[in-house]
Amino acid sequence: AKKVLLFGDIGIDDTVALIYAHFNDEIDIVGVVADYGNVSREDAMSNIRYLFNLFNFPNNIPVISGAEMPLTAELPTYYPEIHGVHGLGPIVPDDFEFVIENFLEIVNIIKMYKDELIIVNIGRLTSLATLFILYKELMGNVKEFYIMGGAFGVPGNVTPVAEANFHADPVAVKIVLSYANNVTIIPLNATQKAIVTPEMVDYIDHFGKTAIFKSLMNFYTEFYQERDPTLQGSPVHDALTLMAVIHPEMFTFNSRSIEIGQHLEGPARGQSIADIRPGDQFYDNEKNHRIAFDLDYETFFHNFLSVMTGK
């Protein structure tokens, strides 16, 4: 199984990613880093504990305390209207006694799984950027990075042009994209197509052992459909990003260099720009990253239902 260290701002689609990982034998979660984002870092940590307990995750998986604010010297903005007050829709997680590992535990994990470790980042990029600031050389041992973020030539979700993970800390994104090798970006281009419909939710709820999944998805879908009544359901951005680790065939990828809008004031903040002009004369850039520009919905649909129900 692929060894995955997950960085997340545990809201609803992050939770769906964790549930998906739990039911998938091809993914072995070797640690979860709790970051601010959808919710505060404290909420992200208590959600992980709650989910680990609810789903009986092996109790040797470290839960690590990540970043609580961006590198931009701003206070974070949370999104209770999308993910609920604590990040789990209507659910208030019980408090469990739990060991929270220090940030530096990540160094041990990287050393332990040398050359085998895959980092999947489904929240803000602050913690990941901090690791490059502190341990640039060590980070060279990470096999691959999968990052949910960005919107390339399609509308953003927090501003007309920017996606939430990239918008919240554009400085961090720039650091990560400058120094990380073997990066796959799963942007809104692909994730907004990963729609889970109420019918799929009912099917999973009926045949799977997914506990709170239905109440989370109902909450999340209500928000999305209020914003866009033409939507058939809601997009599971983060679960899709994790799926990319084991199912690259679901995506249409192209390699491009990426620039991120660094002006914190003004309309281009956090905008992700890749050269997608037709023709190949523009592609010969210094540093390219693999970007998922499209998703094959059929493959996503079948894999998601089958993993979530075990059928």
Q: What is the dihedral of CA 211, 213, 219, 222, to 10 degrees?
A: -130
Residue 65 makes contact with ligand BDR by CB under 6 A: no
Nearest to 36 by CA among 135, 204, 169, 144: 169
Q: How far is the CB of 115 from Ca ion (least distance, A)?
A: 27
Side-by-side strand order, sheet with 117-121: 63-65, 27-34, 2-8, 117-121, 144-148, 183-186, 289-295, 251-256
Nearest to 176 by CA among 166, 167, 186: 166
Footprint (CB under 6 A) of ligand BDR, residues 97-136: 122-123
Residue 87 makes contact with ligand BDR by CB under 6 A: no
Residue with tokens 């989370």: 216
Residue 14 makes contact with Ca ion by CB under 5 A: yes
234 touches, from Ca ion, ligand BDR, none (C-beta below 5 to 8 Å by class):
none
Residue 189 makes contact with ligand BDR by CB under 6 A: no
Residue 165 makes contact with ligand BDR by CB under 6 A: yes
Residue 292 makes contact with ligand BDR by CB under 6 A: no
Q: Which stretch binds ligand BDR (CB under 6 A): 111-119, 159-167, 177-185, 197-205?
A: 159-167
Burial of 305 (0-12, 13-18, 19+ CB in 10 A): middle
Contact with ligand BDR (CB under 6 A) among 2, 22, 41, 237: 237
Write the binding mask 123 to 162 for Ca ion: x where contact by CB under 5 A, - elsewhere.
x---------------------------------------
Residue 262: both structure tokens together: 């660094």
What single letter denotes the amino acid at residue 299? T
Contact yes or no for 136/167 (Cβ under 8 A):
no
Q: Which residues make up the interface to ligand BDR (CB under 6 A)?
A: 11, 13-14, 37-38, 79, 122-123, 148, 157, 163-165, 237-238
Q: Which residues make up the interface to Ca ion (CB under 5 A)?
A: 9, 14, 122-123, 238
